[in-house]
Amino acid sequence: MANLVIMESPTKAGTVKGYLGSGYKVVGCTGHIRDLPKSTLGIDVDNDFKAKYINIRGKGDLIKSLKKDAKNADKVFLATDPDREGEAIAWHLSEALGLPENKIKRVTFNEITKKAVKAGMKTPREIDMGLVNSQQARRILDRIVGYKLSPFLWKTIKSGLSAGRVQSVATRILVEREEEIRAFVPEEYWTVDVELENKSRGKIKAKFHGDEKGKIELHNEAQTMKVVSAIEGKPFNVKSVKKAIRVKNPAPPFTTSTLQQEASRRLGFQSQRIMRVAQELYEGINLGAASGGTQGLITYMRTDSLRIADEAADAAEAYITEKYGKDFYPAQRRIYKTKAGAQDAHEAIRPSNLAFEPDKIKKMLTTDQYRLYKLIWDRFMASQMASAELDTVTADIEAGGYIFRSSGYTVKFQGYMTLYEEAEDHVQASAADTDTPEKSVRLPKIEQGDVLKHDETKPAQHFTEAPPRYTEATLVKFLEERGIGRPSTFATIITTIISRGYVVREGKSLKPTELGEITTRLMVDSFPKIVDYEFTANMETDLDEIANGVDTVTGVLHGFYDDFAKTLEAAENTVDKTKYQLPVEETDIICDKCGAKMVVKNGRFGKFAACPNYPACRNTKPLTGDGKPAEEKAPKVTDMVCDKCGSPMVMRTGRYGSFYACSRYPECKTTRQITKDLGVNCPLCGSKVVIKKGKSRTVFYSCEKYPECDFSSWDMPTAEKCPECGEMLYRKKGKPLLICKHDGCGYKRAIEKDDAE
């Protein structure tokens, strides 16, 4: 074997193998192969924070296989993702596999296309230890905070809690917004709208603005009725008419953050879903032989940059002028400036090949893939197009000494708006919003000096609204604006604070729980630096300086830990646990052993009712998902008999789902797993393939004769055969994809979700 290429994703590895040919073996390592141990801190804080890395459990066979492949290879190309995390994975691979320096070649691909892969392979470099050290510093920081603070939370609030460096700040943001909402006192304000008519030219709607001196806000009914009385029966004279052409520029192409915000607003996708689908588009989709097989459709999706390659800009210019005409391309090419402090190693997120128009390849994509790809396509193309031009009209109309204003705009030249217009977040309603121009309102011809007929007056009472809860889109926007965390971590941050029970979703909104609020209060009281916005943002700058060689890992870690250790010691000695107690949630269920009212507890498998007299009384009862007592039903008798005692078998439900058990339990403890015939024959022995559940309730598939026949798979076997090698196709776990698992084939095909169920 001449050359070995190691990538993160096995899916991506299959795509790249097709580009490189027979002189290369391309394999995937499926992310990190080494990490800090889970059972201990794994960091020697007294020895310059030396980290103890171990091979991740379950990766032993993979590492052994990679070592064998690396030993037989002339060169080893480490082609992990082109970011800080990917650089660290490349370094861990070199360490775990014991690769000599002269054998290692680090390569990166900004997009998974044949041209980009070939170009990347021609420009290898050394592993960037600045990026590696920066990633290690972040990992060590997060480990110290998590492993040192979590026990403190257990002792102070309740067991099982965990703390995170950036997650704690994100929770604080949501908690503070909830406090704003509670403290909000609505303020009354009034509006006065009038309907006017300009002879036979048409109707005009105008809003109360103020008087000759300027804007006036109406706060009560008395002020409003004074205006209504003053204009009654008075002529409405047009004092001024201002007409202008407003130029509206397109939004820049997507970065990781703006993609998450816009896909959340427009498509309703959660951040984790956005990044998963974007990863699929980046790694490659099988578009069929006519389109070159598997193709990466977008550039790398973890980026802060707005930079676009000249080649991509040239392709966009040609596409726009051909499809829309020269007027739709700006006189001067658009160049977007990346903000200071952003990671500019990669381009903005864009289509990798403009030949693959969304509607032309729609049949080859899942619904999610198509919608996200079209959003990325439209945003990129619009970012390169000419500005839109809007005809704006603002008329000030006087009556009874008061001014009413009518305004609106119509589109004169659509420009980029013919393709795309950025979505907007919901904003707080207030009295100041009443003069906002209405879109696409075409006013009838109106000139200064016109006298308008007064048809109707509409006074209305309103109240200001509390600031809205954050959505994923607005939280991501806040985090980015304040420099808290990195856009590539935002999806994980949101997922983590929800899974830990600090935050819940209410529709699209994120609402902190009582646990989240109490934990945040404790963190603010005892560890103000950890949850300080500016401190957390400055830590990101420190990590960047490590990557750039300006600072060192030990320097940054000492700067954090020396003060943190003292703060933790002081908190452990002084904290008043009574200030941070979670309220007890009582139920109407009476304990049938001691007569006490049972309370709700959270366990490993969800909520359950427990006796408050624990440990004297250990009685518990199951609860349904909505907190109501679960009905205790008699087990269903089946027509099967126990292999050991011959008694009937019954169906029972345990923590891992349903199963068959002997009706004489607990005297006879025979159990049998429930299996379902998949309607597919085993590829090894021809017997039936059945569906099973493991201990963690995870579904898998195996031969009915297992373990005599050792066929099993996490991916679902199908009756369909691979068109390239004739072997069985599998439905990829968690993805609407059909894949061939035959060694060296790599065939895959997108399928509709309904077909995959």
* Residues 49, 102 share a domain: yes
Contact 714, 700 (CB under 8 A): yes
Q: What local confidence, expressed as pLDDT, does residue 87 receive?
A: 96
Say whether pLDDT at 440 is over 80: no
Q: Which of 315, 349, 383 is the last residue of a domain?
A: 383
* Residues 336, 396 share a domain: no
Contact 392, 439 (CB under 8 A): no
Average pLDDT, the chain: 89
Mean pLDDT lowest among 12-26, 179-193, 341-355, 742-756: 742-756
Residue 513: inside a domain, yes or no? Answer: yes
Residue 237: inside a domain, yes or no? Answer: yes
Q: What local confidence, expressed as pLDDT, does residue 633 receive?
A: 61
Classified as helix, coil or strand, 100 is: coil
Say whether pLDDT at 546 is over 50: yes
Mean pLDDT lowest among 1-15, 269-283, 293-307, 352-366: 1-15
Eight-class DSSP state of 727? P
* Residues 476, 455 share a domain: no
Q: How confident is the model at residue 197 (pLDDT cuts 50, 70, 90)?
A: very high
Q: What local confidence, expressed as pLDDT, does residue 14 receive?
A: 83
Give the helix ranges, DSSP H, for 575-686.
none
- pLDDT per residue over 67-102, tens digit each? 999 999 999 999 999 999 999 999 999 999 999 999
Mean pLDDT lowest among 21-35, 547-561, 641-655, 743-757: 743-757
Domain count, the chain: 7
Q: How confident is the model at residue 481 (pLDDT cuts 50, 70, 90)?
A: very high
Q: How confident is the model at residue 691 (pLDDT cuts 50, 70, 90)?
A: confident
Q: What local confidence, expressed as pLDDT, does residue 343 receive?
A: 60
Q: How confident is the model at residue 584 (pLDDT cuts 50, 70, 90)?
A: confident
Q: What is the CATH number of the domain that holds 537?
A: 1.10.460.10
Beta pairing partners, 388: 248
Q: What local confidence, expressed as pLDDT, does residue 342 receive?
A: 62
Contact 238, 448 (CB under 8 A): yes
- From CA 73, how far away is CA 99, in angstroms rounded? 11
Residue 593: inside a domain, yes or no? Answer: yes
- Higher pLDDT: 298 or 658? It is 298
Averaging pLDDT over each range in 154-163, 332-341, 391-400, which range is the top one? 391-400
* Residues 544, 499 share a domain: yes
- From CA 27, how far away is CA 72, in angstroms rounded? 14
- pLDDT per residue over 448-466, tens digit each? 999 999 999 999 999 999 9
Say whether pLDDT at 657 is over 80: no
Q: Which residue has the tokens 């864009």?
A: 350
Q: How confident is the model at residue 429 (pLDDT cuts 50, 70, 90)?
A: very low
Mean pLDDT of 375-380: 97
Classified as helix, coil or strand, 417 is: helix
- From CA 686, how far away is CA 57, in angstroms rounded? 33
* Residues 450, 473 share a domain: no
* Residues 108, 8 share a domain: yes
Mean pLDDT of 683-703: 79
- From CA 413, how far away is CA 327, in angstroms rounded? 10
- Higher pLDDT: 438 or 442? It is 442
* Residues 724, 709 share a domain: yes
Q: Which of 332, 353, 383 is the last residue of a domain?
A: 383
* Residues 664, 552 share a domain: no
Say whether pLDDT at 428 is over 60: no
- From CA 448, how far away is CA 585, in angstroms rounded? 68
Mean pLDDT of 199-226: 92
Residue 628: inside a domain, yes or no? Answer: no
Mean pLDDT of 531-548: 93
Say whether pLDDT at 335 is over 90: yes
Q: What is the CATH number of the domain that holds 108?
A: 3.40.50.140
Task: State yes or no: cis peptide before 707, omega within 30 of 0.
Answer: yes
Q: Which of 415, 440, 463 is the last residue of a domain?
A: 463
Contact 387, 248 (CB under 8 A): yes
* Residues 640, 618 share a domain: no
Q: What local confidence, expressed as pLDDT, does residue 43 receive?
A: 96
Q: What local confidence, expressed as pLDDT, does residue 472 receive?
A: 95
Say whether pLDDT at 386 is over 70: yes
* Residues 379, 271 share a domain: yes
Say whether pLDDT at 275 is over 90: yes
Residue 627: inside a domain, yes or no? Answer: no
Asked whether the CA dihedral 365, 368, 369, 373 is positive or negative, the reply is: positive
Residue 701: inside a domain, yes or no? Answer: yes
Mean pLDDT lowest among 218-232, 496-510, 597-611: 597-611
Say whether pLDDT at 529 is over 70: yes
- pLDDT per residue over 41-68, tens digit each? 999 999 999 999 999 988 999 999 999 9
- From CA 52, how far away is CA 527, in angstroms rounded? 27
- Give phi and psi for 134, each to the nearest 5: -65, -45
Q: What local confidence, expressed as pLDDT, does residue 697 receive?
A: 59
- pLDDT per residue over 226-249, tens digit each? 999 999 999 999 999 999 999 999
* Residues 392, 244 share a domain: yes
Say whether pLDDT at 107 is over 90: yes
Q: How confident is the model at residue 756 (pLDDT cuts 50, 70, 90)?
A: very low
Q: Which domain holds residue 732?
A: 676-756
Mean pLDDT of 119-146: 95
Q: What local confidence, expressed as pLDDT, does residue 269 receive?
A: 94
Q: What local confidence, expressed as pLDDT, does residue 677 receive?
A: 77
Say whether pLDDT at 125 is over 60: yes
Q: How confident is the model at residue 327 (pLDDT cuts 50, 70, 90)?
A: very high
Give the active site residues.
Answer: 300
* Residues 659, 600 share a domain: no
Residue 132: inside a domain, yes or no? Answer: no
Q: Which residue has the tokens 């048409």?
A: 202
Q: What local confidence, expressed as pLDDT, does residue 432 receive?
A: 47
Say whether pLDDT at 695 is over 70: no
Q: How confident is the model at residue 498 (pLDDT cuts 50, 70, 90)?
A: very high
Residue 74: inside a domain, yes or no? Answer: yes
Q: What local confidence, expressed as pLDDT, does residue 329 receive?
A: 97
